Amino acid sequence: MRRIVLSWAASTAICASGQAAASVTIYGNIDSGITYVNNLGGHSTVQMQDGISRANALGFSGVEDLGGGVSALLKLENGYSSDTGTLGQGGLLFGRQAYVGLGDKELGRLTLGRQYDSTVLMIPYFPCWNCGIYSAQNANLDRGAGERLNNAVQYRSTNLGGLTFGATYAFGEAAGVLTTNQGRAISTDVQYNNDDFSAIAVMTDINGAIIRAGRLGVSTMLGVPVQSSTILTADKQRIFGVGVKYKLGAWTPSILYTNTLLKLGHASSSDQVLRIGTTYQVSPSVLMAGQLSTDRFEQSRWYMANFSVDYFLSKRTDVYLELAAQRASGPGTVASIYLIGASSSQNQFLSRIGMKHIF
């Protein structure tokens, strides 16, 4: 990945040799493609969608060496639509990330601002992580597609013999529709990486969690009637996730399990998702991946298969094909692949061709 680095180290050295060097890196990615869906509300459709294989982003990350192994850090990152040119995350200027902090080579890093919680770290453990957003849970109840917390203080450790850990606390303030936590939130994780083996465990607990119930594919949720536009504010959302992966030559099989508890008034329900599959590096320029998953919520069940193949034109540019099929069961339950919308039946299939570039 080639990134543009703007450095004022030289001018700093000219002005005062005792001042620290600093740099800002401009980075991002763009993804767009065409998706065919066999059943969206009872009709087939062909549509252009962007940010599917990888969410579109444009960001600025900065680091200033303060000496003694300590650095000042910053990141400002926005999402956008390559189809329309509009800002993502509800029109926020830096809706993906916006934080500042300090890092120490021995003690770790502490950052403050709008940041991802620990569940985003599960993405590399998705068996078909390059299948994109279509492999996420229907309504992203386990936050595996990546979600942010406002007003967050986050600590991340250094690497301790392959072990790393982190913790986030988000204050419940200035709540609104553009946040996923209208109350306080806590998120933690621990990871272990040793050569070809990796494992992760995460926990996220949110008070006043925004749930996009209309995406789930059910007629009721926590006792509340659900329409396609229904958004609920759950009193509690608590997520546990564990995942492992192991590299066996060209194959990297992995398994990921999440358990999400939702509470609203006197009602409570759990959503359990199990994903299993593998990536296969066919050649330096071809990567294939497949995933089978099962999802259980109340009396509803969803079974899904994802497949993808990427052809890399360079280290930064690839074209790809993605396939996803879902079958639902249970009273009032329909298939509803994430970000597509609900089928009129228990089945839904899509295919997509696209291209992405990372810079």
300-312 and 286-297 as β-strands: parallel, antiparallel, unpaired? antiparallel
- The average pLDDT across 219-228 equals 96
Cβ neighbours, 10 Å, residue 334: 23
Specify the CATH number of the domain 4-358.
2.40.160.10
Domain borders along the chain are 4-358
In this predicted structure, what is the pLDDT of residue 11? 39
pLDDT of residue 178: 67
Q: Which H/E stretch holds residue 14?
A: helix 9-15
pLDDT tens column, 18-66: 455 789 999 999 999 999 999 999 999 999 999 999 999 999 999 999 9
pLDDT for 28 equals 97
Q: What is the pLDDT of residue 9?
A: 39
Instruction: Report the pLDDT value the prediction gives residue 18, as an integer from 0 to 100.
Output: 45
pLDDT in tens, 147-172: 999 999 999 999 999 999 999 999 98
Report pLDDT for 230. 96
Using the predicted structure, report yes or no on whether residue 176 has a pLDDT greater than 80. Answer: no
Report the pLDDT value the prediction gives residue 177, as an integer from 0 to 100.
Answer: 57
- Its pTM stands at 0.91
pLDDT tens for 99-133 read 999 999 999 999 999 999 999 999 999 998 889 99
Q: Is the pLDDT of residue 274 over 70?
A: yes
C-alpha closest to that of 319 among 357, 281, 288, 354: 354
Give the per-residue pLDDT at 134.
96
> Does position 298 have pLDDT exceeding 70, yes or no?
yes
- Evaluate if residue 316 carries a pLDDT over 80: yes
pLDDT for 147 equals 94
pLDDT at 12 over 80: no
Closest by CA position to 201, among listed 243, 259, 264, 251: 243
Q: Half-sphere exposure (CA, 13 Å, Cβ side) for 96?
A: 21
Whose structure tokens read 């620290």?
A: 20
Distance CA 193, CA 277 (A): 19
Over residues 263-277, the mean pLDDT reads 97
Cα–Cα distance for residue pair 340/337, rounded to 1 Å:
6
- pLDDT tens digits for range 55-107: 999 999 999 999 999 999 999 999 999 999 999 998 899 999 999 999 999 99
Per DSSP (E only), the strands in the chain are 4-7, 22-40, 43-50, 57-67, 70-79, 97-104, 108-116, 148-156, 163-170, 185-194, 197-211, 220-221, 224-225, 232-246, 251-264, 267-283, 286-297, 300-312, 317-329, 347-358
Token pair listed for 33: 């493609």
Percent of the chain's residues with pLDDT above 70: 93
